[in-house]
Amino acid sequence: MKKWMVILALSLTACGTTDINEEPDSSGEVSNDPAESSSFSGFVMDQNEDSILVVDLIENRGGAPIWVSGVEKDMWLGKKVEVEIDGPIAESTPMQGQAGEVTVVESNQPKGADLNESEALASALSEVDRGNALSVETMEYNDEEDQWTIKMRSTVTESGTERITIDDDDFEQE
């Protein structure tokens, strides 16, 4: 009987260990996920009234999408942003968090192009179904053809790559 009690005590002790470098969050749970962060950067690939879907480039973190709520009402679609999350991050797909601070990052505008990257992406997003949390795979401007080619891929399904060609015409954003 004593033998079983010793085994049980050792088993319970082993289950309750915590690494000394781990700190519990406000709910008491410890997270070691390096992908978890309170800041995200990427392109705004979709938006609702006060929420934006921020998705980083495929190469960076695999196109990790996060819905960020509590942003100012604006035309966000296509803009590159840096977002600080205020509070916990829901680990759904896509992730969800409350905006602390949202900063628009200046977009590249290749020599000879009328549109910058954000404007070209916004135009491309108006031509696709945004229901699959798309991420930018590549975005290139061809000076000879005066066109942008943007390749996007879903971050939640295996639906393949969407290739959109946009004429580089200067346009006014609403």
Q: What is the pLDDT of residue 2?
A: 52
Q: What is the pTM of this model?
A: 0.72
Full pLDDT tens readout for the chain, 174 residues: 555 444 444 444 343 333 333 344 444 343 434 344 589 999 999 999 899 999 987 664 556 789 999 999 889 999 999 999 999 999 888 899 999 999 999 999 999 999 999 999 999 999 888 776 788 889 999 999 999 999 988 877 777 788 999 999 865 544
Q: What is the pLDDT of residue 31?
A: 41
Q: What is the pLDDT of residue 10?
A: 41
**What's the Cα-to-Cα distance from 159 to each of 52, 58, 130, 152, rounded to whole Å?**
22, 15, 12, 10
Task: Look at residues 50, 65, 135, 134 and name the one whose alpha carbon lies nearest to residue 99.
Answer: 50
Q: Which phi and psi angles does 60 have, rounded to 5°?
A: -70, -70
